Structure 1
Amino acid sequence: MVDGSERTAVRITVPRRSVDSDVDSSLRSGPLIRTPEYTVVVPVTDVLLDTEAQSNVRPFLRTAVALAADNDGRVLLLGLETVPNDASLETVRRYLRRERSANSDAEVPETVEKRRKHVARIAERTRDLEPSVPVRPIVRVVSDTTDGIRDVIDDGRETAVLLLRDTGFGEDGRRSVGTIDSILTDAECDVFVETPSVRGEETPLYVPDVEDHTVASIAESEAKPIDSILLPVGGGPHAALAAEAARALARAVDASVTVLHVIPPDAPTQTAAEGTEILKFAEYVLGPDVTSEVELREAPETADEIVREAKTHDLTSIGAPEQQSRLEQLVFESVQQTLSELNGTTVLMARDADRTTRSLYYRWKRGIEASGDERESVN
C-alpha cells in the first residue's frame, strides 16, 4: 500500500499551454534546493507495469543509476500519463491550481493518482540500487508521449535520456520505434537506448495492481549479473559516449570491459595503426579504475564479428551507427530477431548530442597529460 507521504513525494506536471503561460512550473516547483546538473531522465512507461512484459527492468534501472553516479548526477523518473486531448489536459491544470491553493480537498484524477503511486513505488526501488544517487519522481500528464518526453529533456543543458526499446510506448512497440527515432534525431541531449535481454521464463518486475500487493520488490527480483561488457569501437562520433557508458556500468557492477576494433583482413599498415590508436583512445576513456583488455581483430564483416563477440558478454555498449551502416542490424532490428541471436545479452546504444566535441575533449586531455609526462621524464 502506498501511503500519503508518497502522494506528496511525486509531483504532477503538465505542458505549458503557450510560451507565455506560467501554469506549469514543471521541474522548478517546490522548495529551492541544490540539485546536480547532470540528470538522467528515465521515462516510466507501461512496460514497467505490464503483466505481459517478459523483460526484467532491474538492469534497466541499474543502467540509469550507473550513468548518473558516473557523472555525479541524479535520476529523474518521468511517469507519463497520456490523456486524449487538450480538454483533458486543462482538467488536470485546474486540479493543480486547486491543489496549490487553500482548497486542500481537490481530488486528483483517478488515472493520474494511480500513475503517481506507481512512480513512487519505482522511485523507492531505484533508490535501493544506489542510495547515494538522488532520485526524483514526477508524473507528466501529456497528450502525446513523444512531445512529453522531448519537452522535458530539451529543458536542461546537462541532460541525458535513457529509453527502453520496443516496449512501453504502444501496441507491438510501433509507437516505441517512432518515439525513439524522433528523439535520436532531434533531441538536444545525449540519448541512451537499452534493448534488454529477453528470456521467456522471466516474470515482470512490476505489475499495476498495487492495491492487491502484487508489486514485486526490486531487491528480491532475480536479474542476470553483468560480469563482462563488450565495447565495440570505431571512428564514429558516438564512440566516446559509448565508452563512458561502459565505464559507468563497469564501475557500478565491478565488470570487466573488452574493447574491440575490427578491421578487414590484409588491411594496410595505416589502417591497423589507426585501429590501434582507436583502441588506446577507448581505453583512456575507460580509465584506470576499470579492468579492460583491447583487441584489434581481422574479419570480413564488422557487424557479424561484433554479434559473434557479443554472445560471449553480458552487455554490449555501442555508439549509434551512422546511416546505412550494417551495425544497424545490431542496434535497431527487432528484439526477437537480434536478441535471440545474441543469446540473452543486453545492448546499450549511445548517441552523443555533441558528436565530435566529447571525443575532441578526451584527445585534448590525453595529449596534455602525455606532454606533462614527457616534461617530467626530461627533468
Structure 2
Amino acid sequence: MRREQETLLDVASRRATEQGIRARASALVAHSVPSALLNIADIEQTDLILMGWRGEVRGPLLRGTNVAGVAKVADRNILVLKDNSLSKVDRILVPVGGGPHTKLGLQVAQQLAVQWGATITAMTVLLDRDYSDAVSAFDPESRQSHQDSGEEFVRDILKEVGVTAEIAAVIDTDISHGIINIVADYDLIIIGASDEWAVRRWLFGSVPDKVANQASVSVLMVRSKD
C-alpha cells in the first residue's frame, strides 16, 4: 500500500510539474482520509483545500464521503471541482449572490483568468415568481429596470472585490434554472456556497449542488472560511 501511495503521488507531482505548478508530495498514515487531509492542511498551513467530485452531488450520496468529511468541518477555504471534461478555458461564469463565498469565487476566477488568459462574466439571477417571456414582452421598461438594478448590484460587488468582469443579469423564476440556461456559452462555472452548506443534505447548498448536477460544463464550487 505504501509503495502504491508513493507511485500515485509521483504521478500527481509529475502532472503538476507539466502544468507549471509547484507541488510537493506527502503521504500520511491515518485512520481516515478526511482526518489525514485536515492534518496535512494543518501541518502545511495551507490557505485552501482543493478536491474533486465524481458523479451526482446529492444528499444520500454525500454521507460518509471523503469530500463531505473535509468540506463540512475544515476551517479554511474549500474548493471542489465537479469535472465535465474540462480542458481549455476561455470563458468563466461566476454567479453572484453576495457574501464571502461569492467574493472568494470571484477572486479564484480572477487568478485563473490571468493564468489562462480567460474572460470572466459575473452574473446574477433576479427572481420573479410571476415572470415569463410572454409577460415581459408587454412590459419591456419594467424588465429593463429590473435588469439594470441587478447589474448595479453585481457592479458594486466587483468594485468591492477588485475584480474586472463582464456583467450579466437575467430574470427567472428559479436561480439554478437561470444559471443553467446560459452555461453553454462558458467553459467553467465558479459558484460560491449558499447559506445551506452546513446542512447535511447539501454539499455547498441547494443552488450550487443543483448547478453542479445539471450543468453541461465543469463546475468549481467554493466555500470561504469566513
Normalization by structure 2: what TM-score? Answer: 0.76
Larger radius of gyration: 1
Identity %: 18
- Please, which of 302, 315, 331 is the counterpart of residue 208 of structure 2? 331
Flag the 1:229–1:286 CA change in 2: closer, same or farther, 3 A.
farther
Render the CA deviation track for 1:242-261: whole Å, top value 9, x for unaligned.
00111121111111111101
With over 3 angstroms needed to count, the CA separation of the structure-2 counterparts of 1:139 and 1:283, relative to structure 1, is same
Which of 140, 146, 149 lines up with 2:28 in the alignment?
140
1:1-379 pair list within 5 angstroms:
111-130=1-20, 133-155=21-43, 157-166=45-54, 174=61, 178-197=65-84, 224-265=87-128, 273=149, 276-282=152-158, 285=161, 287=163, 292-323=165-196, 328-332=205-209, 338=213, 341-343=214-216, 345-354=217-226
Deviation at 1:183, TM superposition (A): 2.2
Q: What is the Cα deviation at residue 271 of structure 1?
A: 9.8
Deviation (angstroms), 1:115: 1.6
2:132 aligns with none
| SS of aligned partner of 1:135 | coil
The residue type equivalent to 1:278 in the other structure is V
Q: Determine the structure 2 residue equivalent to 1:99.
A: none
The letter for the 2-side match of 1:186 is V
- For structure 1, the 5+ residue unaligned runs are 1-110, 168-172, 199-222, 355-379
The whole-number CA distance in structure 2 between the counterparts of 1:334 and 1:274 is: 20
- Relative to structure 1, the CA distance from residue 312 to residue 237 in structure 2 (aligned partners, 3 Å threshold; closer, same or farther) is same
Cα 1:126/1:190, change in 2 over 3 Å: same
Pair 275,234 (structure 1): closer, same or farther in 2 beyond 3 Å: farther
State how far apart, in whole Å, the 1-side matches of 2:177 and 2:210 are. 14
**C-alpha contact (below 8 Å) 2:171/2:178 kept by paired residues:** no
Distance 1:158 1:235 in 2: 25
Letter in 1 for 2:221: M
Q: Which amino acid aligns with 1:195?
A: K
SS state at 1:138 partner? coil
Note the C-alpha offset of 1:158: 4.7
Summarize the Cα distance change of 1:158–1:118 in structure 2 as closer, same or farther, 3 Å threshold: closer
Partner of 1:43: none
| Deviation at residue 297 of structure 1 after TM alignment | 2.4
Q: Distance in 1 between matches of 2:190 and 2:163?
A: 16
Aligned residues: 203
Supply the distance in 1 between the matched residues of 2:121 and 2:150 (Cα, whole angstroms): 18
**Which whole-Å CA distance do the structure 2 matches of 1:299 and 1:125 have between them?**
41
Residue 34 of structure 1: aligned partner: none
Letter of the 1:180 counterpart: V
Residues 315 and 347, structure 1, Cα contact 8 Å, conserved in 2: yes
Letter in 2 for 1:233: V
Structure 2 CA distance for partners of 1:330 and 1:273, relative to 1, 3 Å:
closer
Hey, what's the Cα distance between the residues in 1 that align with 2:47 and 2:189?
22
- Residue 312 to residue 334, structure 1, CA distance change in 2 (3 Å): closer
Q: CA RMSD in A?
A: 3.1
CA distance, structure 1, for counterparts of residue 42 and residue 155 of structure 2: 33
SS in 1 for 2:154: helix
Instruction: Please say if residues 166 and 177 of structure 1, whose CA atoms lie closer than 8 Å, have aligned partners that are also in contact.
Output: no
Q: What SS class does the counterpart of residue 24 from structure 2 fall into?
A: strand
Could you tell me how far apart the structure 1 residues matched to 2:69 and 2:8 are? Answer: 26
Do the aligned partners of 1:233 and 1:282 also contact (CA within 8 Å) in 2?
no
